[in-house]
Structure 1
Amino acid sequence: MDFIKTLLEADLFQDKKIIQRYQFLKVKDETDTNIYFIEKGSVRIFMMDENEERIIRFGYSGNIIVSLDSFLSGKSSDLYIQTIKKTEVRIASKKDFYQFIHSSDEHLKLWILVLEDLVMQQLEREKDLLINSPQERFERVLKRSPQLFQEIPQKYIANYLRMSPETLSRLKKS
């Protein structure tokens, strides 16, 4: 995406952090207004529903991730961001990011495109969750994000798709 390239060229991501496998970048009830560019590794974004994890998003090399609710509101969030494997991120603050997007009309237009894309992704995700057929959910996600199946362990993808790892394994074989 051009926006990521533009952000990287603008040198917004001043800080760098290495997070070991299964460590948390963000935990529940924490406010986090940073934006993270994943240089290497992978993360999962999830929340707890009673005692069950509900994965809502993944990030891997080349992605930007953010606790969007906390980023936009400046308030704490129910979301966790946890590494799946050792992960290297570059970090941009909300203040620096907003200064950047307001520095030109072109940057602001790019940000609007990113927000529109996020809304469309969320709508696709909601459709996925409303579809009863595990086969159809699997096919939709595979079509949308084939790299996901290269980067993320099957047990996490199964959770994201709201199915058992065994069901996902059967669907991948068929």
Structure 2
Amino acid sequence: MNLLEHFKNLFDQHELWEDEITLKRYEYLKVQGAANTNLYYVISGSLRAYIIDEFEEHTIRLGYKDNLVAAMVSFITEQPTNLYLQTLKKTRLKVMSKARLMEFINADADRIQAWSRFL
């Protein structure tokens, strides 16, 4: 079992997911200038992370079924960023706040070590 599967199973076993949302095709999960400190698990669908410079869009990451997705810089710094997260088709996501995640991770030394390896 890889670390992604390990954490997904732990999150499910401990019922850490706080919400489940469904977004339509091309709907935004995060827009430029906003902070987003949630962690998402893609149940179905797909999304992209992109930035816009003065000339064009640059897709920097894709998220698919069974992936964990976050606006990583915003997740870590808790500050707004220039990143957009947009669905590419209808997408269902499980949602967990950073506060809940970090409380769970920091409660156990083995989890801290595994989370560090995962990142």
- TM-score, structure 2 length as denominator? 0.92
Larger RCO: Structure 1 or Structure 2 (Cα < 8 Å, ≥ 6 residues apart)? 2
Match of 2:53 in 1: 49
- Matches of 1:69 and 1:7, distance apart in 2: 22
Moved over 6 A (4+): none
- Matches of 1:111 and 1:4, distance apart in 2: 12
Structure 1 segment 14-163 matched on structure 2, within 5 A: 14-115=18-119
Superposition RMSD in Å: 1.0
Residue 9 in structure 1 maps to residue 13 in structure 2 = yes
- Matches of 1:112 and 1:106, distance apart in 2: 10
Q: Over residues 45-76 of structure 1, what are the superposed CA-to-partner deviations in whole Å (9 max), with x where a residue is unaligned?
A: 00002131101101011000000100100100
Tell me the CA shift for residue 10 of structure 1.
2.1
Structure (1/2) with the larger strand percentage: 2
Q: What one-letter code is carried by the residue in structure 2 that aligns with 1:78?
A: N
Q: What one-letter code is carried by the residue in structure 2 that aligns with 1:113?
A: R
Q: Over residues 6-60 of structure 1, what are the superposed CA-to-partner deviations in whole Å (9 max), with x where a residue is unaligned?
A: 2232221120110000000000000000000110100000000213110110101
Structure (1/2) with the larger helix percentage: 1
Tell me the CA shift for residue 112 of structure 1.
0.5
Tell me the CA shift for residue 83 of structure 1.
0.1
- Matches of 2:34 and 2:117, distance apart in 1: 28
Identity %: 33
